[in-house]
């Protein structure tokens, strides 16, 4: 198996494959659980695998429930800019925050938890929503000699797209596996995300192209 894997300069980045984003979760993405078998099919191709995990405190600033009179999917302005208000999801230590049990990525080397600061949301695996606070992922990848990332997970138009764009900003090549992702598509967000990623030089492929 080892000699059929991607070279050591490429990593698979699995974004937020958690129950909170699956059907029945706090912030369900339609058909979100369909990504799990696709990820399991492609993951053995990668010697380097990193996962991210949304990990919010219950009083997180992005939860509509923490803003009296506000509803999910409304927007507010915070010190770092516009913030979508979300349903309560992926609260630390809950089943909703757990990675899907059926993921078969035991060879993953790192889990990055994000969104754990009460006052800052975090979509990207690299930089939180204030665009200043880093997760340390870019430094880790550079230290490992990794020059490109292949992304999959949830949701295409938020955490996957922001992560892909920040990977490019960090000097990494970035490729999104479209059928290993699913989108929220809030007010046209999916089309905007694909356009932004294309403009930044992010590649878009299907999982069969990794075979």
Contact 93, 57 (CB under 8 A): no
Q: Is 152 a catalytic residue?
A: no
Contact 11, 50 (CB under 8 A): yes
Residue-wise pLDDT tens digits, 51-102:
999 999 999 999 999 999 999 999 999 999 999 999 999 999 999 999 999 9
What pLDDT score was predicted for residue 4? Answer: 56
Active-site pick, 16, 33, 96, 121: 16
CATH entry 3.30.700.30 includes domain 2-57+89-210: no
What pLDDT score was predicted for residue 64? Answer: 98
Q: Is 157 a catalytic residue?
A: no
Active-site pick, 90, 152, 159, 181: 159
What pLDDT score was predicted for residue 211? Answer: 63
Q: pTM for this structure? A: 0.95
Q: Is 159 a catalytic residue?
A: yes
What pLDDT score was predicted for residue 6? Answer: 76
Active-site pick, 90, 114, 121, 157: 114
What pLDDT score was predicted for residue 1? Answer: 37
Contact 162, 190 (CB under 8 A): no
- Smallest CA-to-CA distance from 146 within 169, 124, 173 is with 173
Contact 90, 54 (CB under 8 A): yes
- Determine how many CB atoms are found less than 10 A away from the CB of residue 47: 17
Residue owning tokens 């099919």: 41
Low-confidence ranges of the chain (pLDDT < 50): 1-3
- Determine how many CB atoms are found less than 10 A away from the CB of residue 53: 22
- Determine how many CB atoms are found less than 10 A away from the CB of residue 102: 11
Domain boundaries, the chain: 2-57+89-210
What pLDDT score was predicted for residue 2? Answer: 42
């Amino acid at each position: 198996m080892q000699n059929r894997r991607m070279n050591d300069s490429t990593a698979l980045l699995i974004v937020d494959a958690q129950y909170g984003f699956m059907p029945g979760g706090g912030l369900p993405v339609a058909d979100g659980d369909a990504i799990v078998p696709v990820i399991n099919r492609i993951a053995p191709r990668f010697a380097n695998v990193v996962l991210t995990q949304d990990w919010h405190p219950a009083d997180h600033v992005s939860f509509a429930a923490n803003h009296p009179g506000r509803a999910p999917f409304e927007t507010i302005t915070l010190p770092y800019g516009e913030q979508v208000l979300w349903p309560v999801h992926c609260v630390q230590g809950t089943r909703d925050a757990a990675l899907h049990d059926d993921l078969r990525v035991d060879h993953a080397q790192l889990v990055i938890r994000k969104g754990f600061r009460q006052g800052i949301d975090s979509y990207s695996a690299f930089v939180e929503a204030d665009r200043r606070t880093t997760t340390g992922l870019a430094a880790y990848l550079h230290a490992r000699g990794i020059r490109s990332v292949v992304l999959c997970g949830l949701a295409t138009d938020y955490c996957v797209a922001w992560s892909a764009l920040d990977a490019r900003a960090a000097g990494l090549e970035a490729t999104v596996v479209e059928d290993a992702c699913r989108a929220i598509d809030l007010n046209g967000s999916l089309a905007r995300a694909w356009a932004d990623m294309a403009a930044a030089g992010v590649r878009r492929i299907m999982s069969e192209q990794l075979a």
